[in-house]
Amino acid sequence: MKALDHARRGTALAVHDLSISLVSAAPIVENVGFALPPGGSLGIVGESGSGKTTLAMALVGHTGPGIRIASGRVEIAGRDILAAGPKEVAALRGRQIAYVPQDAPSALNPSMRAGDIVAEMLRIHAPERYGSDSIAKAMDLVDLPSDSAFLKRYPHQLSGGQQQRLAIAAAMAAEPRVLVLDEPTTGLDMITQKRILDEVGRLRARTGVAVVVISHDLEVVEELCDATLVLYAGRVVEQGPTRALLKVPAHPYTRGLIGAVARPGVRPRGMYGSAPPPNRRKGGCLFSPRCPQAHDDCREVNPAPQKAGPEHWVSCPYHVEKTIVEAAPIGERKRDTCEIPVLDIRDLTVAYRGQRVLKNVSLTIQRGERVALLGQSGSGKTTLGRCVAGLVDREAGDIRLNGTPLSPRVARRPRDQLRAVQMVLQNPYVSFNPQFTIGATLRRTMRMLCDPGRAAQPDRPRLLHLLERVRLPAEAADAYPAQLSGGELQRAAIAQALACAPDLIICDEATSALDVSVQAVVIELLRDLTEDEGVSLLVISHDLGVVGSISDRIYVLDQGLIVEHAPTPVLLASPKSDLAKRLIASRPDTAAGSTVFHATSQRTEKTHDTLHP
Amino acid sequence: MHLRELSPSGIVGTGIVLGVVAIALFGPIFFSGSTEIVGRPFMMPTPGHPLGLDGYGRDVLTRLMNGGLTILLLVTATTALVYAVGIPVGLFTALHSRALSASALWLFDCLLAFPPLLLVLLLAASTAGGVTAAVIAVAASQVPWVTRLVRAAASEVATSGYVDAARLRGESTWSIMWRELLPNIRATMLADLGLRITVSILLITSASFLGVGLRPPTADWGLMAAENRNGLALQPWAVLAPAAMIALLTVGVNLMFDAWPKTSGRRHSAELTENVA
């Protein structure tokens, strides 16, 4: 299937010069245009705040409160859905274009049964087909069972992957020609993600539906889409055939995004800074403040799209100067392991509400070593981290820090142990008390944890030095948490962990709430800190890319049991356990055949088409 | 908090409350002799007595000006007592859901089973029936609600990362309660405060009306309404005026506190993000 040859085959969806703004006229999305042929697929890639969800909703003729369409057309089946009256919009939705919202679990009405959710779509959008046959057909499309027992289940009785597939089944029930999928895999574990991607691929092959995929994840788009459009601060910075765009990215932002993707065996490169919000977008190229190759005129002149290849457009006049280099592979580190380990967990068993979530887990971390704990959701990996931190009680087993037993409860630990074990939590937005400035919280941590000799020193210079170590400017000290972005907050959380020379930092999914470019910044920071300061790291994650790019050694946790542990390169090259094999197979970059993310992996290259039957 | 951030109804409410409080506080200074008999019982308003006289021939306006202070003091005392018990217990039980917390909550749930007015009568009757008994009784009927609310709101906050972070740096339960939990449930508490004050006003005045708590000849809006209800047909002002003051205070308090939570809490501009980024 060739992308963008819509001239011959007509268009399923055409967007002309679409601009969407806040009621205050601040632009959210500016001058977006694309055409999608019947059966084609387009990926819209952007980080949080790029306007991608606003754009996706506009495709089905919907705008949220406070948002309005400033100009442009969205043509579906030859009609402009933005100019259509309510009745016509209702007729277009469902039958011509359907939308699968982000976060399926919260999009599905919890009081409706699975069958009724699909039936309702039919009743409203295709009453002539209403009936159990059509419901069964829709369920069959996404490989969900259509027996009455399954149709009677409520959404909470389904797994995350099943919920997502049910949402897709409902959207497909009235047989639309275009399906808009908003972040279809976010929040799902790697193996389920892979399954959903395969499912959407099969769906396209069976029904010929055209797909628009909104995602922050380049790998998802690579897997699903013929063409890709990169959105930055509401503007299209690059647009073209996916393969060309990812293989020879022209815009510095696209190159930065690709370099920032965390993947095993590679050091991701972060992009500092963040995209300007709608009310702060001025003239010139909006990416220029973050751009490594910005010229003086970039800040003034609004870049016009230029041709970078066949059907490949880029909004950067300097795209020929390619300054961002490939992400660097990681060299192996040697450390002696004869000393007493920083952390020594032996036969740890933890029960929660009568159920054992960890069974006889043993794990050691040497000084300066970065150890990853890899597991699916529900494997008990978070419990392990919280148990080491003393936030969860254990049933049996022994945890030693530098050879000394750690008390099970944090409240019983002496100050020196509190100082030694630090934790960076998953959600940076709730890591700081919103009532205090970052500086106030950091100072309090220093006062409580550092030894008295150090506490006697003046606070401010030490605070600023601490912020400097995580590359935050001095202003951050006086900022309230609500004034910082997720990436900045997570760096501040790392600063808090570093405040008093810790021995071990536990990172519990510390990057999963962050954008790709910011995630790379945090990974880079954690790597540098361990190398420069000899801090040990316990990285808890479900993401093989993160784990593989940061750790020296990996433990694989499956349903409370350590099923495998090995040095990272060994485990990636020859996984022994079933889970590790499946996780590795679920990633486009570790599995054979990826067009872009294969560059630094040592696997044999196969053709891209083998992934898309 | 700036006045200009308040909604119109919030400004009206605040104005009403300030007016009623001013009358209650400064009335006694300008109008003395609330127990003096100046004429015939239930005399209709005259230029000298714009609200007429009550059942004992006392000036209604003078008594009205003197009758607010007791209510204000009793309501303040009751509300303070309710929160002095409810907040610490609620915060503590949100952090520790062990046996002690469970039994404290169980005890409070038993109190919830009693209709508040019955509880007031029961407690007041079993003691001497003084003002203190009325305050304690009204507070006791309110404490379980506040505790439950504080606990529910704080339980949600207690799972936040910053509470974990506080425990990890070795903060005591006490400092987690006051530093991490309480400031972050302030909006919920403020929204509830209006309702608590209203209910306290109603129960305190009802207690006075029923003859529990304050005793005649004290000038008190609740008592005034009770004393003069027999003469409602003869001289309605003796009942309507104090009742209107109570109603005004209740409505004003509600309008004021409904508007507050919307405007309180930290609102930050995105100003700094750009500099920091």
Retrieve residue B183's tokens: 């400031």
Mutate to test the interface with A, among B271, B272, B275 (most CBs of A within 10 A): B272
Residue B196 to residue B192: CA distance in whole angstroms: 6
A391 vs B160, B164, B184: nearest CB: B164
pLDDT digits (tens, 9 = 90+) for A281-333: 877 888 888 888 888 888 888 888 888 888 898 888 887 766 555 556 665 55
CB–CB contact A423 B168 (8 Å) = yes
A485 vs B180, B183, B273: nearest CB: B273
Q: In terms of CA atoms, which chain B residue is nearest residue A290? A: B277
CB–CB contact B276 A445 (8 Å) = no
Do A425 and A529 sit in the same domain of this protein? yes
Residue A264 to residue A588: CA distance in whole angstroms: 11
Residue A35 three-state SS: strand
Residue B18 maps to a domain: no
Distance from CA of B169 to the nearest CA of A (A): 6
DSSP A370: E
Do A356 and A368 sit in the same domain of this protein? yes
Do A436 and A537 sit in the same domain of this protein? yes
Do A226 and A368 sit in the same domain of this protein? no
Residue A585 maps to a domain: no
Partners of A232 in the beta sheet? A235
Do A170 and A185 sit in the same domain of this protein? no
pLDDT value of residue B36: 78
Domain termination site, one of A258, A293, A314: A314
CB–CB contact A482 B179 (8 Å) = no
CB–CB contact A274 B277 (8 Å) = yes
Residue B12 maps to a domain: no
CATH number at residue B170: 1.10.3720.10
**How much is the average pLDDT of B108-134?**
77
Q: Which of A193, A184, A207, A225 is nearest to A3 (CA)?
A: A225
Residue A336 maps to a domain: no
Q: Are strands A396-401 and A404-405 parallel, antiparallel or unpaired?
A: antiparallel
pLDDT digits (tens, 9 = 90+) for A124-168: 888 888 888 889 989 988 889 988 899 999 998 888 888 999 999
Please say if the pLDDT value at position A459 is more than 50: yes
B268 vs A277, A430, A482: nearest CB: A482
Residue A514 to residue A508: CA distance in whole angstroms: 13
Which residues in chain A are contacts of B183 at CB distance < 8 A? 433, 435
Residue A591 maps to a domain: no
pLDDT digits (tens, 9 = 90+) for A217-271: 888 898 899 999 999 988 999 999 998 888 888 888 998 888 888 877 777 888 8
- A292 Rama sector, left if φ>0, alpha if ψ -120 to 50, beta otherwise: alpha
Which residues in chain A are contacts of B167 at CB distance < 8 A? 391, 410-411
Residue A334 maps to a domain: no
Q: Which of A203, A227, A210, A260 is nearest to A59 (CA)?
A: A210
Residue A69 three-state SS: strand
CATH number at residue A534: 3.40.50.300
Identify the band that residue B32 occupies on the pLDDT scale cut at 50, 70 and 90.
confident
Distance from CA of A554 to the nearest CA of B (A): 26
pLDDT digits (tens, 9 = 90+) for B246-275: 899 989 988 888 777 554 444 433 333 333
Residue A116 to residue A122: CA distance in whole angstroms: 10
pTM of the predicted protein model: 0.78
Size of chain A, expressed as the number of residues it contains: 613
Do A310 and A353 sit in the same domain of this protein? no
Do A554 and A407 sit in the same domain of this protein? yes
Handedness of CA A515, A521, A524, A528 (dihedral sign): negative
Rounded to 5 degrees, what angle do the CA atoms A502, A570, A572 make? 90
B124, B133 contact by CB (below 8 A): yes
Residue B61 maps to a domain: yes
Do A219 and A298 sit in the same domain of this protein? yes
Which residues in chain B are contacts of A410 at CB distance < 8 A? 167-168, 170
Residue B218 maps to a domain: yes
Do A538 and A570 sit in the same domain of this protein? yes
Domain count across chain B: 1
Residue B56 CB neighbours (<10 A)? 16
* Parent domain of A131: 109-175
Do A75 and A113 sit in the same domain of this protein? no
Question: A–B: how many Cβ contacts below 8 A?
Answer: 96
Q: Which of A19, A534, A598 is nearest to A278 (CA)?
A: A19
* Parent domain of B71: 51-264
Which residues in chain A are contacts of B160 at CB distance < 8 A? 430
Do A223 and A82 sit in the same domain of this protein? yes
A475 vs B162, B180, B276: nearest CB: B276
| Euclidean distance between the first and the last CA atom of chain B, given in angstroms as a whole number | 29
Residue type, A170: A
Q: Are strands A312-314 and A235-241 parallel, antiparallel or unpaired?
A: antiparallel
Which residues in chain A are contacts of B272 at CB distance < 8 A? 475, 479, 483-484
Residue A613 maps to a domain: no
Do A228 and A282 sit in the same domain of this protein? yes
CB–CB contact B276 A279 (8 Å) = no
Residue A611 to residue B29: CA distance in whole angstroms: 89
For chain B, the residues whose C-beta falls within 8 A of a C-beta of chain A are 160-162, 164-171, 179-180, 183-184, 266, 268-277
Instruction: Provide the strand spans (E) within A268-375.
Output: 306-309, 312-314, 328-329, 343-352, 355-365, 370-375
B11, B46 contact by CB (below 8 A): no
Domain count across chain A: 3
Burial (CB count <10 Å: 0-12, 13-18, 19+), residue A526: buried
Residue A32 maps to a domain: yes
A410 vs B161, B168, B270: nearest CB: B168
pLDDT value of residue A373: 94
pLDDT value of residue A588: 60
Burial (CB count <10 Å: 0-12, 13-18, 19+), residue A81: buried
Q: Which of A372, A395, A361 is nearest to A567 (CA)?
A: A372
Which residues in chain A are contacts of B166 at CB distance < 8 A? 433
Please say if the pLDDT value at position A32 is more than 80: yes
A280–chain B Cβ distance below 8 A for any pair: yes
CB–CB contact B270 A483 (8 Å) = yes
Residue B271 maps to a domain: no
- Least confident window among A317-326, A349-358, B182-191, B268-277: B268-277
Q: In terms of CA atoms, which chain B residue is nearest residue A450? A: B169
| Euclidean distance between the first and the last CA atom of chain A, given in angstroms as a whole number | 11
Q: What's the distance, CA B106 to chain centroid?
A: 25
CB–CB contact A432 B165 (8 Å) = yes
Residue A352 to residue A189: CA distance in whole angstroms: 22
Instruction: Provide the strand spans (E) within B66-206.
Output: none
Identify the band that residue A454 occupies on the pLDDT scale cut at 50, 70 and 90.
low
Q: Are strands A178-182 and A210-215 parallel, antiparallel or unpaired?
A: parallel
Residue A197 to residue A360: CA distance in whole angstroms: 35
